[in-house]
Structure 1
Amino acid sequence: MCGTVGLFMGCSAVSLCPKQALFARRDDTGGNDGGDAGRDGDGEDGAQTYVSPFRTWYERATVRSAERRRLGPLTDGQDFFAPELVPLAGHPLIAGLRGERPGVYREVLVRHLYRYLDFTAKLEHLVVNRTVLGIAHGTIGVRVPEAMRLDAFKIYCDEAYHALFSADLAAQVREATEVRADLAQVPYFVTRLERFLEETPDDLAALTEILFVIVSETLITAQLSEMGNDRNVAPAVRETVRDHALDEGRHHAYFAIFLRHLWGQLTPATRRRAALRVPRLIRIFTDPDVPSVEKEIVGYGLPRDDAKQIVAELFPDASVTAYAKSVAQQTVRHFASVGALDDEQVRAEFAAYGLL
């Protein structure tokens, strides 16, 4: 994690860094681990009996059971991504280029695949696995049962493999298509999260990162799961998407349980402050990367004014909000289940972001 570009340059949030926390604990205890990292939670946060979603992990996790997905030649009618999931591909000004420049339509789908794979790899490596490391090593400040800590190691393996197979498939696509990805080194969601953290009071910074991971691991879209069975998508792509979805089902269940442990250990005042941050975290994750799409359109030779018109038509506020509400339904239910939405101001904040 140390030295990673973007949000984590220079370990700006060392409160979640396992190495930093372990060194601090060693210094405070004369070399003995005097903390509670390996102790099951007690009281409100540890009252539940933990039923692991990873009971069959050694047999079913894709990192242990799936073969490497190899990109082969596409058959007639197959695409690199499901066109109905690529808004740009359906816009008339872009679709109209198919006759004049037949390769453009394929390039639009390829670039969307790159965006999806890059988003996946960087989310797993730069954000999720930082928090998962903290859970696994007991340095995150949340007491969980020992079995949950062990499961965090499994999630870490899963997420690292998701990053690997995303990077691997992207490399295969580049070789097969000679289409450049041309993506920002730092993903847009990381930039937005970084800005939010800069505005965040110091005492909430680490908690805000944890909440973002809970959000990212509990959002649900059926569309990508459906693409995993779409025979019109290149086999290596749909199989990669399906592999990811199978693992993420277990992760979703885990982080729903983790939220209950976390919430039970916060003071009422901190719960309220934390809950008020969740709606914006959801929108940071779900809102489209408009600058990237606009830049892509200009790259196809269209004037910048046309590019601005296209993104305005593709991503009207009402559609963006409706999408966020749709994919966040289960996440919102999880926060409601721990009482986060019992507060009137919190409910108003969720409603203001279009999530209720």
Structure 2
Amino acid sequence: MCGVTGLFIGCPALTACPKAALAALATAGTGHAAEPPAVPPEYRTPFATWFERASVRQAPRRVLDEGEEKHSFSPDLVPVAGHALVRALPGDVFEQVLTQHLYRYLDFTTKLEHLVVNRTVLGIAHRTLGVDLPEEMVFDAYKIYCDEAYHAVFSMDLLRQVRARTGIAPRLAPEPYFMTRLRRLQESLAPELRPLAELLFVVCSETLISATLAEVPDDARVHAAVRDTIRDHAQDEGRHHAYFASFLKYLWHQLSPPVRRHLAPLLPDLVLAFLHPDLPSVREELLAYGLSADDSEQVLAEVYDERKVREHARGTARLTLRYLTSVGVLDDPAARDRFEELGLLEGAPPE
């Protein structure tokens, strides 16, 4: 089964896989062999203490305390929760806003880890991507695969606990918006480039800095089980961040110049595919709470002002942009123009 975005790793008969794409495009558009790849950087594993420290190895199951009367999520990290029209909703409805945000976060995590990240990690572990990597880096992919699978398990476990405790049914789209956007971006590319776009999407998603992972664990207003679950996730993701920053160097230096030129301008859109808010779903949710159509549009316009959205994306992607710059992505004029157009470069806000 090829999955939602059409990437299945490990099938030896598949012709439209990253390995096939790398081989087929090595000389594309050049008329001669691709330039030799740069000498790979030395790989320093961030997983030296994985067997002792990974959440799947040592963290207990996080269980909701039935007597704890706290929020399901940090109000400061739920954008619409700060708007006066939402804060004016009855207390039980306002708590639903926070709970639905937790559900979205947990569903987002489950599907990102299972359906996208672990497909790439499986390809790394089984050497089917066509990217030459150190043996230690290949072995570390097995550890990431375990981590991400466990993140999906504890996210779904917590969602089920919250649903049982609160009686609030999750309002979740069948497909998270980041997957819809990724698929649309892939469809704009030649078929042989689509798997490579997903690899780069994984690099972006794993190197972005999430305020949720950074701030929820320290918010005493939130249920301890939620805080501890997100803390477990954050500790693992710190190692994944370092890993994929290294993986980018190996991947990018082994792509041919024509392939780099095709993919470099796509990278800012891959960043925003992950970060841009799902406005249709938020609109539908606001209407379900009893806000009028006009009030719902007012909340969306004031909370998700385009400049604010771009400022948030720029801050969240700061380290990702640094890594992309280090491998030469922004040396490509078309890529730099697209980053500036989308307001992702410091000092270049959108009009």
TM-score w.r.t. the length of structure 2 is: 0.89
Give 1:44 deviation, angstroms: 4.0
Corresponding residue of 1:13 = 7
Matched, 1:64 2:57: yes
What does 1:219-234 correspond to in 2, within 5 Å?
Answer: 219-234=208-223
Corresponding residue of 1:142 = 131
Q: Of 44, 51, 56, which residue of structure 2 is paired with 1:51?
A: 44
Q: Deviations over 1:83-119 (max 9, x none)?
A: 0001121111111123xxx211111111110011000
Equivalent AA in structure 2 for residue 273 of structure 1: H
Cα distance in 1 for partners of 2:67, 2:205 equals 32
Corresponding residue of 2:73 = 81
Kept after mapping to 1: 8 A contact 2:72/2:222: yes
What does 1:107-146 correspond to in 2, within 5 Å?
Answer: 107-146=96-135
Matched, 1:328 2:317: yes
Equivalent AA in structure 2 for residue 90 of structure 1: G
Give 1:24 deviation, angstroms: 6.2
Q: Deviations over 1:289-336 (max 9, x none)?
A: 111111111111222232122111110100111111000000000010
Cα distance in 1 for partners of 2:14, 2:279 equals 42
What does 1:92-103 correspond to in 2, within 5 Å?
Answer: 92-98=84-90, 102-103=91-92
Q: Deviations over 1:164-219 (max 9, x none)?
A: 10000000000000001020111111111111111111121111000000000000
Cα distance in 1 for partners of 2:191, 2:206 equals 24
What does 1:159-198 correspond to in 2, within 5 Å?
Answer: 159-198=148-187
RMSD of equivalent CA atoms:
1.6
Cα distance in 1 for partners of 2:39, 2:231 equals 34
Equivalent AA in structure 2 for residue 194 of structure 1: R
Equivalent AA in structure 2 for residue 232 of structure 1: R
Matched, 1:296 2:288: no
Corresponding residue of 2:22 = none
| SS class of match (2:133) | coil
Kept after mapping to 2: 8 A contact 1:74/1:234: no
| SS class of match (1:97) | coil
Cα distance in 2 for partners of 1:203, 1:146 equals 27
Kept after mapping to 2: 8 A contact 1:44/1:264: yes
Q: Deviations over 1:2-52 (max 9, x none)?
A: 264xx24xxx334xx11x13x569xxxxxxxxxxxxxxxxx7455322211
Instruction: Provide closer, same or farther for how the CA distance between residues 44 and 267 of structure 1 changes in structure 2, counting only shifts above 3 A.
Output: closer
Gaps of 5+ in 1: 26-42
Give 1:155 deviation, angstroms: 0.4
Instruction: Provide closer, same or farther for how the CA distance between residues 196 and 266 of structure 1 changes in structure 2, counting only shifts above 3 A.
Output: same
Equivalent AA in structure 2 for residue 80 of structure 1: S
Equivalent AA in structure 2 for residue 94 of structure 1: V
Moved more, 267-276 or 291-300: 267-276
Cα distance in 2 for partners of 1:226, 1:96 equals 25
Cα distance in 2 for partners of 1:315, 1:235 equals 29
Cα distance in 2 for partners of 1:206, 1:339 equals 21
Matched, 1:305 2:294: yes
Kept after mapping to 2: 8 A contact 1:121/1:164: yes
Cα distance in 1 for partners of 2:67, 2:299 equals 29
TM-score w.r.t. the length of structure 1 is: 0.88
| SS class of match (2:218) | coil
Give 1:259 deviation, angstroms: 0.5
Cα distance in 2 for partners of 1:328, 1:198 equals 24
Give 1:223 deviation, angstroms: 4.7
Cα distance in 2 for partners of 1:298, 1:3 equals 36
Corresponding residue of 1:347 = 336
Q: How many percent of aligned residue pairs carry the same amino acid?
A: 51
Equivalent AA in structure 2 for residue 93 of structure 1: L
| SS class of match (2:320) | helix
Gaps of 5+ in 2: 16-35, 346-351
Cα distance in 1 for partners of 2:108, 2:290 equals 25
Corresponding residue of 1:28 = none
Q: Of 196, 213, 229, which residue of structure 2 is paired with 1:240?
A: 229
Kept after mapping to 1: 8 A contact 2:203/2:245: yes
Cα distance in 2 for partners of 1:261, 1:278 equals 17
Give 1:72 deviation, angstroms: 1.0
Q: How many residues align?
A: 325
Cα distance in 2 for partners of 1:239, 1:352 equals 39
Equivalent AA in structure 1 for residue 82 of structure 2: G
Kept after mapping to 2: 8 A contact 1:132/1:152: yes
Which aligned segments of 4 or more residues in structure 1 are displaced greater than 6 angstroms?
none
| SS class of match (2:322) | helix
